[in-house]
Structure formats: C-alpha cells, structure tokens
Amino acid sequence: MTQNSIIIPTDGSEYAMSAAEVGFGLAEDLDATVHALSVGDTSLTHRSSIGGSGPMTEDDVAERASEWASELADAAEAEGLDAAVVVRTGTPAEEISNYADEIGANMVVIGTAGRSGFEKTVLGSVTDKVIRTAPVPVVTVQPDGTIDAA
C-alpha cells in the first residue's frame, strides 16, 4: 500500500500556518505524511527593495525556505504526524505543482493569502496558479480557517 501524502506549502506567513492546521487534521484522518514544502522564490533574486538591501541571492531564498519548511515539519511532528521537509527553488506555483506530480500526492492544502498589495498584483496569486495547475485536488484555507476545495 502506498503511503498517503499531503503537501502543505509554506511561505512562513500566518496564512500558511492556518492552512497547516487544516492540513494536519486531514493528514491525521488519512494517515498521511505531511510534506512541508517551501519554495525559495528565485524572482526575489532579481528585485531589490526601495531603500532596502539589494536583491537576495539564490542561497538566501533557499535558506529562508528551509527555515520555513523545517518549522512547519516540526509543528506537524509535534502533532504526532510523519513529516518531510521539502525545499525547492524556482517559481512557487510551478514547484508546488511539479512536486505534487512527482510524488503522486493525494492533495495540496494551501492558504489563500500570503503576499498582498503590489507584490500580489505583480506576481499574481500563488494559490490561484496552484489551483489551475496542480495535478491533484487543492484544498484552500481562508485566513479565518474556512475551507474550500478546488
């Protein structure tokens, strides 16, 4: 029998943690391994903040992604779940969908908000792109904990 798997992407935001709580419950119900996935967004290596530091390096974004994925996996394990830390670099929506396909995941559980304002307008919504491209069902979690399935 193949182990069930649920991918819970994280960008370190409160929205990702809200989604993780829902994902942990589903993982418990399905006896699934949580794949705590964080993507080091390489688009951030090409932009700099106005009045801030220069662009981040690929190592910088990968290190930050690793911290976020580890924190999420630690939270899953604290709930008694099996968890895997997964770190990728690239375009978040593409990497999430590609990873779901690679491992034959059962579902992706993702928050509906993360970045906002100008960044969201420029980059588009990662969640919207995952809904359109993932090869598996996507459960979206609103900031208030409301669940939608796409």
Parallel, antiparallel, or unpaired for β 107-111 and 4-9?
Answer: parallel
Share of the chain above pLDDT 90, in %: 59
Cα separation of 24 and 109, whole Å? 9
- pLDDT tens-digit readout, 73-94: 999 999 999 999 999 999 999 9
Cα separation of 122 and 46, whole Å? 14
Residue 104 has pLDDT above 50, yes or no: yes
Residue 8 has pLDDT above 60, yes or no: yes
Residue 27 has pLDDT above 50, yes or no: yes
Which pTM value belongs to this model? 0.85
Cα separation of 49 and 135, whole Å? 35
Residue 141 has pLDDT above 80, yes or no: yes
